[in-house]
Amino acid sequence: MVDVQNRNDERNIPLQKVGIKNLKYPIQVLDKVRKTQSTVATVNMYVNLPHHYKGTHMSRFIEVFDRHRANILMPEFLVMLRDVRIALEAERSFCELEFPYFIEKKAPVSGQPSMMEYTCRYIGEESEQDRQFFVGIDVPVGTVCPCSKEISARGAHNQRGTVRVTVQYDSFFWIEDVIETIESAASSGLYSLLKREDEKFVTEHAYDNPVFVEDVVRNVCVKLETENEFPWFSVEAENNESIHNHDAFAYVERGRRPNRTLFDASAL
């Protein structure tokens, strides 16, 4: 059959990225407790396109991803990107993978178990000359305002927030360990199921540990630098304020800033 994509294009315009977006696909990832976890990812995959090619072969993205979907582990992610680049005869390949990750979390007093959802991302690009791989984790947390506690005769305002960490992959680590680090830096973690004794504990624990968004990103930053050796990472905290008509935000990045041709980490 005629291969239209391989026809010559005379406009002399190379494209930085062509490929597929918003593909929903079942995958398996590593789980610290259960060894593996099945989930569903939203997948974006691209390659560069030289100026003389009319188009790329979209089906090859799916073919390669399907071969790897049962083994989307951190060390193998770049292997998949290499296979994409080779299959599409490209110089550079890219992938953005986002998926919900579930951890069984026990309530702090009653011990009642329930499943807690976190959003994770694998972001990478690969060529013969270099390869970059980043892991992103979004963690919902609770915060109590130190100012509100200090100036109020009764109580203090509190809110839910999200802490988003993106790390440059250098050696294997567990997603669960980073989540635990993030939750410990806030006033409290969140739970899907709490009995009355648990609610009392969480409320009082958060009240005893008030933090601004600035405190949260600094706390996470210190813990990540102490417990890990990431070449680069960023920490972003955003509070959905309960008594203001705006959100509170803070951001920090540490380490040698990577050559981010794939994404802008501050926007993740």
Per-residue model confidence (pLDDT) at position 229: 85
How many residues make up the chain in this entry? 268
Per-residue model confidence (pLDDT) at position 3: 46
Q: Helices 175-184 and 213-227, interaxial angle, to 10°?
A: 140
* Residue 134 counted as domain residue: yes
- Tell me, rounded to whole angstroms, the distance of Cα 265 from its chain centroid: 10
* Residue 5 counted as domain residue: no
Alpha-carbon span 202 to 219, nearest angstrom = 19
* Residue 177 counted as domain residue: yes
Domain containing 183 equals 12-255
Eight-class DSSP state of 217: H
Query: Which CATH number do you get for residue 120?
Result: 3.10.270.10
Q: Which helix (H) or strand (E) segment is 221 a member of?
A: helix 213-227
* Residue 17 counted as domain residue: yes
DSSP code per residue over 40-65: EEEEEEEEEE-TTBS---HHHHHHHH
Alpha-carbon span 172 to 75, nearest angstrom = 7
pTM above 0.85, yes or no: yes
Per-residue model confidence (pLDDT) at position 73: 78
* Residue 4 counted as domain residue: no
Provide the number of structural domains found in the chain.
Answer: 1
- pLDDT beneath 50, residues of the chain: 2-4, 51, 263-268
Per-residue model confidence (pLDDT) at position 105: 96
The two three-digit tokens of residue 112, written as one number: 């009642």
**Three-class secondary structure of residue 153 per DSSP:** coil
Eight-class DSSP state of 91: S
Question: Backbone dihedral region of 9: left (phi > 0), alpha (psi from -120 to 50 degrees) or beta?
Answer: beta
* Residue 2 counted as domain residue: no
Per-residue model confidence (pLDDT) at position 268: 39
Per-residue model confidence (pLDDT) at position 187: 95
Q: List all residues 6 or more positions away from 9 whose beta carbon is below 8 Å from its beta carbon.
A: 51, 52, 53, 54
* Residue 124 counted as domain residue: yes
Per-residue model confidence (pLDDT) at position 39: 95
Per-residue model confidence (pLDDT) at position 177: 96
Per-residue model confidence (pLDDT) at position 4: 45
* Residue 249 counted as domain residue: yes
